[in-house]
Amino acid sequence: MSYKRYFAELIGTFILVFAGTAAIVVNDISGGAITHVGIALVFGLVVAALIYTLGDISGAHLNPAVSIGFWAAGRLHARELPPYLFSQSAGALLASLAVKLLFLNGHTSLGATLPAGGAGQSFVLEVILSFILMLTIINVATGAKEKGLMAGVAVGAVVGLEALFAGPISGASMNPARSLGPALVSGHLDALWIYLSAPLIGACLAIPCCRCLREKECCI
């Protein structure tokens, strides 16, 4: 039933955003106990785990940019797109509220993605990161199920890899929901436009590239 798919996206995005942003908060209040490498691993590992947990239910998009990419590829019906986006955004918002309740006096940004340098630099970086991520996902996914036993590892590895080298510059969001929840709850809204728009552009750019690389199995 469709509602199970939407609930899977809500709970999956909740887990992703909760684990990732909680790791950032704990790292900050503990004086760097987790480290940047540890935070990147948390994001990569939780994505991999969720693909194996929820991939056969909803596809484990956990990301509005990914859902829009699948819609652009003709692999997600237009009527399903709004519930996917709503479920992902709601899950991210609930996750940020949970982190705020757990760390009432310990942190202000709640793991919000903020550019370290110029806005233009982070925007371009997020477009490229999201392009790479979507190109990987669209090539290892088939419908609502991952293709092969290593699909979760592949996608999780890309998330972790991109967080490793790009996190200190742009935050390596690649996910509008992941940025939306912490931004709304913490009030850090100035750079939110970067993280809402750039991943969508990057994900959509990956679809024509996939069509050039593959035949019919990639996109309709």
Classify each residue of 145-161 as buried b or exposed e, where b means 16 or more C-beta atoms within 10 Å of its C-beta.
ebeeeebbbbbbbbbbb
Q: pTM (2 decimals)?
A: 0.92
CB neighbour list of residue 95: distance below 8 Å, 6 or more residues apart? 13, 14, 15, 16, 17, 18, 21, 181
Query: How many C-alpha atoms does 3 have within 13 Å on its Cβ side?
Result: 0
Contact between residue 88 and residue 63 where contact means Cβ atoms under 8 Å apart: yes
Contact between residue 130 and residue 123 where contact means Cβ atoms under 8 Å apart: no
pLDDT digits (tens, 9 = 90+) for 138-193: 988 754 444 456 788 999 999 999 999 999 999 999 999 999 999 999 999 999 99
pLDDT at residue number 104: 81
Instruction: Provide block-wise average pLDDT over 10 residues at a time, the chain (220 residues).
Output: 90 98 94 95 96 91 96 92 97 97 82 92 97 93 56 93 95 96 94 97 93 69
Beta bridge partners of 142: 145
Domains detected in the chain: 2-213 (1.20.1080.10)
pLDDT at residue number 108: 79
